[in-house]
Amino acid sequence: MKKFNILILIGLLTLILAACGSNDSTNKDATDNSSSKEKITFGATTGPYSDMVNKAIKPLLEEKGYDVENIEFSDYVQPNNALDNGDIDANLFQHKI
């Protein structure tokens, strides 16, 4: 059941990130080696959420030309506060199950 929930979460996150994309022709191609990569900073608690960013989400986004950073937090409140303050761009955890 946990694997199924994780797959659903990854799928939803992928859809959310894909919806943020643009078909604008002025966007740089992922094969462009310029140093103007867009940086996305994730916040996740240590353990399975951080592993999900590092092993599943980060490689996919880096293939598309993004520079991805994952900041690990030790509790479940800090990522929410960091997202609210604008210190991170995305949060992989919002509440306890």
Report how far residue 43's alpha carbon sits from residue 47's, in angstroms, rounded to the nearest whole number: 12
- Amino acid code (one letter) for 94: Q
What would the pLDDT profile of 63-85 be if each residue is shown by its tens digit?
Answer: 999 999 999 999 888 888 999 99
Domain boundaries, position 65:
37-97
92 in any annotated domain = yes
Domains: count for the chain: 1
Average pLDDT over residues 78-94: 87
pTM here is 0.57
Report how far residue 34's alpha carbon sits from residue 18's, in angstroms, rounded to the nearest whole number: 22
Q: Which residues pair with 69 in a beta bridge?
A: 41
9 in any annotated domain = no
Angle, alpha carbons 47-57-70 (nearest 5°): 55
12 in any annotated domain = no
14 in any annotated domain = no
47 in any annotated domain = yes
Burial of residue 88 (number of CB atoms within 10 Å: 0-12, 13-18, 19+): buried
What would the pLDDT profile of 16-47 be if each residue is shown by its tens digit?
Answer: 777 666 555 444 444 444 456 799 999 998 88
49 in any annotated domain = yes
CATH label of the domain that carries residue 86: 3.40.190.10
